[in-house]
Amino acid sequence: MSKIVAAAAIRGAKQLFNEAKSSWENAVKDKGADCEVAFPGTAFYFPMACALMGLEVKKLKDIQPIIEEAESLLHEEPSERLNLPYLGDTLDSGIAALFC
C-alpha cells in the first residue's frame, strides 16, 4: 500500500470520526444521554461495535465507549521522511471508521 493511499485512508477515517463524535455530542446535548437508540424492526445494536467489542447500544450514553475506542485507533498519517511500517496504523484507522 502506498503512503498516499494510507494517508488518504487515515485522513478520511479521522474526518468520519470527527463528524460522528460531533453528531453524538449534539444528540446527547439535545436529547439527553438516556435517549434510546434503535434500528426499528431489527435485532441490531450498532452491528460493528457489537461484533468487534461485544457492546449493545441501547441508549446514547452506551455510545461513549465506542467513541473512545474509535479515537484510540486513529493514528497520524505516515511521514514522508521516515519509512516506518504504516499498514497497521492504516488498518486500525479503518476499524475506527467502521465504528462510526
Tell me the pLDDT tens digit for each residue of 44-79.
778 888 888 999 899 999 999 999 999 999 999 888
**Contacts of 65 by beta carbon, 8 Å cutoff, 6+ apart:** 53, 55
All three cell numbers of 37: 437508540
C-alpha cell at 94: 479503518
C-alpha cell at 26: 449534539
Here the CATH number for the domain that contains residue 53 is 1.10.8.190
65-to-23, 41, 79 alpha-carbon distances in Å: 15, 25, 30
Number of domains in the chain: 1
pTM of the model: 0.84
Contact 94, 8 (CB under 8 A): no
Q: pLDDT by residue (tens digit) across 12-26?
A: 999 999 999 999 999
Residue 39's pLDDT is 80
**Res 8 pLDDT > 90:** yes
Range of the structural domain that residue 59 is part of: 3-99
